[in-house]
Chain A
Amino acid sequence: MSVRYVTSKVLGSLATLFFVICFNFFLFRIVSNDPVATLFRGRNLTDSQRDELTHQFGLDKSTWGQFVDYLQQTAQLNLGRSYQTNQPVWDEILDAAGPTIALVGVSAILSAVFGVMLGIAAAWRRRSKTDYTVTGFTMTTYSMPDFWLGMLLLLALAVGLGWFPTGGIEDPASTATGISKLADQAQHMFLPALTLTLAYLGEYAIVMRSSLLETMREDYLVLARAKGLRDVLVRNRHAVPNALLPVVALMAINFGFVLSGAIAVEAIFSWPGLGLASYEALKGPDLPMLQGMFLVFSAAVIVFNLIADLLYGYLDPRVRRA
């Protein structure tokens, strides 16, 4: 891959990140002209206290001065303090990131694997019963609100049958450590992960199916068959690897988006990640927390978009020449 391709992609991402950071600043400007009043809602402040706080927050500076301050603070990962817990927003985000990455990571991998398998099965036997079943199933899961699917699964498998816990990341009464603690957490993760996997698998199946259908028209598949290769080998060695390209890019892009897409599902299952933190911040509304979340989620999308671009450039030489 040429240096020029990589540099241009990295610079493009940095420009986008800068845009998001600026955008975030102006969003905060729209929020209120008087952040001190917002912060100390309903509490009496003397004029001198108010002046002092205004000075402390740097609000007596010009908009430009505030903007420069904001850029510096953001660069130092100082995102302000949460209204609810009075902890630095960045620390809160770090605490919540682990469970989200675990949940979303597992679901992203599972949905990609199963989605691709369904897509292959559907495309290879086009217009068969398998094809219609897969297409119908994926369109249905694709059309549901993901958290509603979660509610149905919760009702059936946790409340109804009692096979799984109804929420949280571990049994609060348990003192288990090591392997048994992990097993407990895995059991808690099962339902939210199943929900997200089912919700996102449809897109992979649809993309894989149309990509494989496109590939199946290529001449080299006719050649492979003419050489006398068995059907399975034609599929696994010649068709699927080439058809996988768009799916790989989709996977990287999706991972960035799924992080924030899991907000409602985490809320349903009280999974203590970034989504649940956003959900709780909304009730306030805890604006510094929401703004911090917005920045982090956007940054995640930008980073994974960059990864997708680079991967694509690496895997498909036609892209990096364009």
Chain B
Amino acid sequence: MNAVAVPSPRQITWQRRRRAMAAAWRDFRGHTPGMVGLVVLALIIVMALAAPLIADEAGLRAINTTENPTWANPSEFGPLGTDNYGRSVWTQFVWGARISLLVGLAATILATVIGSVVGIVAGFLGGIVGSILMRVTEWFLVIPFLPLAIVLAAILGPSIENIILVIGITSWPSNARVICAQVLTLRERDYVDRSRALGASDWHLMTRHVLPNVSGLIIANTTLTVPVAILSETTLSFLGLGDPTRASWGKMLEESFEAGALTQQAWWYYVPPGLGILLVVLAFTLCGQALEEVLDPRLRDRRR
């Protein structure tokens, strides 16, 4: 009778986390705007992933579309008409979703990683290191995003990696500040003192006690950074700093403007990409706000 399974501390921790996540999901499900956002998002992500099944990639290159009419409106050609090269707007829209989402997500991950590391280290260590890190954060916070991104993108050259890099390194400071503020209160908690008294190193404290406690905040912040990153991608691509070889929604807006879609009154060329951006940004914002409320119930009464 010595086989009474005693769960290890790790198992206990994970059980508790699973329960917390299940509870968060139950709360989230009851949040109508958040669920609407989630469903819209899921539809767009499925469309982006299934792009090869929906539309032929060859249709993105003008050399393959010489047979098609140019500036055809939706009733004359395909679901969404054609552009000045006879390329189907629908094909560009479907494939553009991939790049817009990819850039938005990748840039957000970069910004979240930098912001979280700076925020946790600055908040937890405090002292000289902390104040230097926060000073640098404040500096980056006042540098206006667009001019910095433009200068960087002009220097680095237009490519998809560079645009991710540029958005990533210009959007981390606000994450760092929010996380640092939270960590400052966490490090005064008793369990941190106790763990330290048991001989835990700074690294152990930061990764095992502080990080799990700010992870909810990081997730909510990430969800709210994606829309900003997607809007930034749109603006930078519109200004001609996007990858010239890959269609994104921002790139479509640039090409439609350059091709004179406004004077052609070719609304079918630039309304869809803008609507796509609007939907994705709105969906991410709704999900992010719902997450924030689920994870921080104090907000619930304040916002709704």
Q: Name A residues whose Cβ lies closer than 8 Å to a Cβ of B.
A: 16, 19-20, 23, 27, 30-31, 127, 139-140, 142-145, 147-148, 151-152, 154-155, 159-160, 166, 210, 213-214, 256-257, 259-261, 263-264, 267-268, 278-279, 282-283, 285, 287, 290-291, 293-294, 297-298, 300-302, 305
Q: Are B154 and A279 in contact (CB under 8 A)?
A: no
Please name the residue on chain A nearest to B146 by beta carbon.
A260
CB distance from B257 to the nearest CB of A (A): 7
Any A CB within 8 A of the CB of B150: yes
**Supplied contacts A160-B265, A268-B257, A297-B147, 10 more A-B pairs, CB within 8 Å:** A30-B155, A143-B231, A144-B274, A144-B281, A145-B253, A147-B253, A290-B154, A291-B151, A294-B147, A305-B142
B199 in the interface (beta carbon within 8 A): no
If A278-B150, A291-B151 touch, whether A257 touches B144 (CB-CB below 8 Å) is: yes
Cross-chain contact B151 with A143 (CB below 8 angstroms): no
B227 at the interface (CB under 8 A from A): yes
Which residues of A are found within 8 Å of B250, using beta-carbon distances? 145
User: Interface residues, chain B, CB within 8 Å of chain A?
Assistant: 138-139, 142-148, 150-152, 154-155, 227, 231, 234-235, 238-241, 250, 253, 257, 262-263, 265, 267, 270-271, 274, 277-278, 281-282, 285, 302-304
CB distance from B278 to the nearest CB of A (A): 5
Contact of A282 among B144, B154, B263, B278 (CB under 8 A): B154
Q: Which residues of B contact A305 (CB under 8 A)?
A: 142
Q: Contact: B138 with A16, CB < 8 Å? A: yes
Measured between alpha carbons, how far is A27 from B235 in the docked complex, in Å? Answer: 22
Q: Which residues of B contact A31 (CB under 8 A)?
A: 155
Q: A-B pairs with CB below 8 Å: how many?
A: 121
* CB < 8 Å neighbour of A27 from B155, B285, B303: B155
Closest beta carbon of chain A to B3's beta carbon, Å: 56
A-B contact pairs, 10 of them (CB 8 A): A19-B139, A139-B285, A140-B282, A143-B227, A152-B271, A256-B144, A260-B146, A264-B239, A294-B148, A298-B148
- The reply to whether A283 and B142 form a contact with Cβ atoms under 8 Å apart is no
Is B282 a contact of A139 with CB atoms below 8 Å? Answer: yes
Q: Tell me whether chain A's interface is mostly helix, strand or loop, or mixed.
A: helix
- Give the chain B neighbours of A159 by CB distance below 8 A: 262-263, 265
Q: A151 is contacted by which of B138, B227, B234, B274 (Cβ under 8 Å)?
A: B274
Q: Would you call A143 and B142 a contact (CB within 8 A)?
A: no
B146 contacts across to A, CB distance below 8 A: 260-261, 263, 297
B278 touches A140 (CB 8 A): yes
Q: How far is the CA of A321 from the CA of B227 in the complex (A)?
A: 37
Bound Cα distance from A142 to B248, whole angstroms: 20
Considering the chains assembled together, what is the distance between the CA atoms of A264 and B250 in angstroms? 12
In the assembled complex, the CB of A151 is this many whole angstroms from the nearest CB of chain B, namely: 6
Using A145-B235, A214-B302, A267-B239 as known contacts, say yes or no to A298 and B147 having CB atoms under 8 A apart: yes
Cβ–Cβ contact A290 & B238, under 8 A: no
Alpha-carbon distance A154/B155, docked complex (angstroms): 32
